[in-house]
Amino acid sequence: MIVTRLKGLALLALSVLAALGCWAAFTTWLVSDRVSYRAYETAPTCPDGAPERRYEDCLRTVTFTVDATKVDRGKRGGLRATLSGTPYWDGVVLFGDPGPVLEELRPGDRITGTVWRGEVVSIAESDARGVRQRTSDAPRDEPQMPAALGTGLGLLAALTLVFGGARLPGPGPHAWFAWRPYGKRLLILTVSVSVALGLVGVWTGLVWWLVPAVEVTLVALGAVLIYGWDRPEGDMRQTGIT
């Protein structure tokens, strides 16, 4: 009984942490990303003349010399360029994609860079085509991911709250609140839906405030299937799923 209650308390502690993560995702991550993107989109062009400091709340166009590049999709930080030739912004710049500019660069090339608030946010070829590529530091209007992950954390908070609370009375929870198989499957379901929906939302441009409703609906339908699978006429032991 003591072990069961300790497990319940551990799940309740996880519930609190997940709830805090949900709160932070919506009030800090999502809000700060949207504020930063709006500020970037409306930022004025810096006045002519030499820059006096690294951080400027305006868009400055500078010329870089390419010292080296690395294009390796399989490694974290494997898409990067080492740039020089400016008073404050020389160094390694990271990218999320190899093209259209990064993969074409060679040491010694001269490129145009855009700097905002001390970070290189985009680079462009210096020729007449002017093909441009954003860096990893460029603000993005992608609120779907924090909305999806924040909702997922909220669902995990509810899940661990229910499963943890069911263990406190002792000696054992109702069969529906057994961590194996139900809790484990619901955990996998929630995490999978959160990540997948966040990615799909970003790719499709789904309105971010629809993400929580869609996610809750999908997880609820999945939960119905998980519990319905164990009805007497569908014995789980015959399926090999544990």
In this structure, is residue 47 part of a structural domain? yes
Percentage above 90 pLDDT, the chain: 65
In this structure, is residue 38 part of a structural domain? no
Residue 206's nearest CA partner among 147, 157, 155 is 147
In this structure, is residue 193 part of a structural domain? yes
Strand order in the sheet with 110-116: 91-94, 79-84, 59-71, 110-116, 119-125, 132-134
**Whole-number pLDDT of residue 180:** 83
Residues 231 and 146 in one domain: yes
Kindly report, residue by residue over 171-188, the tens digit of the pLDDT.
666 677 888 888 899 999
The whole domain housing 187 covers: 2-33+141-238
In this structure, is residue 212 part of a structural domain? yes
Could you say which of 80, 109, 134 is where a domain stops? 134
Could you say which of 85, 114, 134 is where a domain stops? 134
Residues 18 and 52 in one domain: no
**Using 50, 70 and 90 to split pLDDT, how confident is the model at 155?**
very high
**Whole-number pLDDT of residue 193:** 97
**Whole-number pLDDT of residue 241:** 36
Q: What is the mean pLDDT of residues 46-73?
A: 90
Could you say which of 103, 134, 165 is where a domain stops? 134
Residues 194 and 166 in one domain: yes
In this structure, is residue 215 part of a structural domain? yes
25-29, 179-183, 201-205, 221-225: lowest mean pLDDT where?
179-183
Q: What is the mean pLDDT of residues 33-57?
A: 91
Q: What Cα–Cα distance (Å) separates residue 196 from each residue in 145, 148, 149, 193?
A: 9, 9, 10, 5
Q: Which has more pLDDT, 61 or 4?
A: 61
The CA distance from 231 to 237, in Å, is 11
Residues 154 and 234 in one domain: yes
Residues 97 and 183 in one domain: no
Residues 148 and 227 in one domain: yes
In this structure, is residue 59 part of a structural domain? yes
The CA distance from 58 to 71, in Å, is 30
Provide the CATH number for the domain around residue 98: 2.40.50
In this structure, is residue 118 part of a structural domain? yes
Residues 59 and 110 in one domain: yes
Residues 183 and 226 in one domain: yes
Residues 128 and 146 in one domain: no
Q: How many domains does the chain have?
A: 2
Residues 150 and 204 in one domain: yes
Highest mean pLDDT among 4-13, 18-27, 228-237: 18-27
Peptide bond into 87 cis (omega under 30): no
**Using 50, 70 and 90 to split pLDDT, how confident is the model at 237?**
very low
Kindly report, residue by residue over 80-128, the tens digit of the pLDDT.
999 999 999 999 999 988 888 999 899 999 999 999 999 999 999 876 5
Residues 103 and 186 in one domain: no
The model's pTM: 0.78
